[in-house]
Homo-oligomer: A and B are copies of this chain.
Amino acid sequence: MNLNPKQVAEILAEKDNIVILTHFHPDGDTLGSAVALLRALRSMGKKVNFINNDPIHPKYAYLWKGLKKQKFKEQYIVAVDIATEELLGDSLKEQYSGKIELAIDHHPSNTLFAKQTCLEGDSAAAAEIVYYVIKELGVEIDAAIASCIYTGISTDTGCFKFRNTTARTFYIAGIMKDLGADTERINEVMFETKTRGELELERLMLEGMEYYYDNKLAIAVIRQEMYRQTGTTEDECEYIASIPRQVAGVFVGVTIRERKNGMWKASVRTKPPLDASAICMNFGGGGHENAAGCNFDGTLEEFKEKLVKIVGEIPV
């Protein structure tokens, strides 16, 4: 049985000594959701911590400003924005697998690994669901909670640009703004800041961008050497996979990245009517209609040649 936010609130109201888990490589939604819920539950006098498998990027530090870890014997484990136990990361998975009481999530692919689950696949962000849970808890949403919820919503929608954005997403963002969310600072940190290394990597990537079929296909290649040269890591540069498709006229934008093991990984982004997952299936990969991925263990030249041929055969 899928719980709704009211039922989640009723359950949480009865619990104490709560630990909230975030997913590995924590992003704005898992962190914003976790800390919003933590702040709300602590304001009710409960003991609550949140924990994570991996180091958190310092840009998120404002979320828990003024908060300290509490000491208590944990009694109730909640997961937010986590679709499978694998996404806990190795160390959290080892510690908590099978022990998670409640999951609050918006991924339709959630495996129902928790004992109870509140899954709303239509929510743009887990933070939308957390907003309704906090409302049902009867807690007053202060500016700090509002900033956490706004962070989850804005980061998971690419600042309201992605397709998951609904009318409700805008309404909740408006309410958070009204309640004091520091949207200006959050937007600047999340969407208007790049490191010098990231900009350098973009430059190197643009330098080598290749276009085929009158711009229908654009291919960018990122080599391990380029991360070293710019002081960046593959993780933090995930966003650059969206650049090739941004070019006017491009229907298939591909970013090929060299793995540490010498293999190649491609991120394929398409515009309708072209199907990214169909392209990636040729290489044993898959994904969504407009965003998919695949791996290749031959040479870069073989990979590109095959890819160019496949895309050439698809009519636009």
Residues of B within 8 A of A209 (CB): 199
Given contacts A191-B161, A193-B248, A247-B196, is CB(A177)–CB(B184) below 8 Å? no
A104 sits at the interface (CB 8 A): no
Q: A246–B192 contact, CB under 8 A? A: yes
Q: A160–B159 contact, CB under 8 A? A: yes
A168 sits at the interface (CB 8 A): yes
Of the residues B160, B195, B203, B211, contact of A160 by C-beta under 8 Å: B160
A213 sits at the interface (CB 8 A): no
A165 sits at the interface (CB 8 A): yes
Residues of B within 8 A of A170 (CB): 170-171, 173-174, 177
A249 sits at the interface (CB 8 A): yes
Q: How far is the CA of A215 from the CA of B199 in the complex (A)?
A: 13
Of the residues B159, B169, B206, B246, contact of A203 by C-beta under 8 Å: B206
Q: B192–A161 contact, CB under 8 A? A: yes
Q: How far is the CA of A215 from the CA of B197 in the complex (A)?
A: 12
Query: Which A168-218 residues have C-beta < 8 A from chain B?
Result: 168-171, 173-175, 177-178, 183-184, 187-188, 191-196, 199-200, 202-203, 206-207, 209, 211, 215
- Give chain B nearest CB distance to A284 CB in angstroms: 28
A167 sits at the interface (CB 8 A): yes
Q: A187–B161 contact, CB under 8 A? A: yes
Q: How far is the CA of A168 from the CA of B173 in the complex (A)?
A: 10
Q: How far is the CA of A193 from the CA of B249 in the complex (A)?
A: 9
A309 sits at the interface (CB 8 A): no
Given contacts A159-B159, A161-B191, A206-B199, is CB(A177)–CB(B167) below 8 Å? yes
Q: How far is the CA of A165 from the CA of B191 in the complex (A)?
A: 15
The interface bits of chain A over 138-161 (1 if a CB of B lies within 8 angstroms of the residue's CB, else 0) are: 000000000000000000000111
Residues of B within 8 A of A177 (CB): 165-167, 170
Q: B195–A183 contact, CB under 8 A? A: no
A69 sits at the interface (CB 8 A): no
Residues of B within 8 A of A194 (CB): 246-248
Given contact pairs A170-B174, A199-B246, a sample of 18 additional A-B residue pairs in the complex whose CB atoms are under 8 Å apart:
A159-B161, A160-B160, A160-B173, A161-B192, A163-B184, A167-B178, A169-B174, A170-B171, A170-B177, A174-B174, A192-B242, A193-B247, A195-B247, A195-B248, A196-B249, A199-B247, A202-B202, A203-B203
6 A-B pairs with the lowest CB-CB distances in the bound complex, closest first = A170-B174, A203-B206, A167-B177, A167-B178, A167-B174, A171-B174
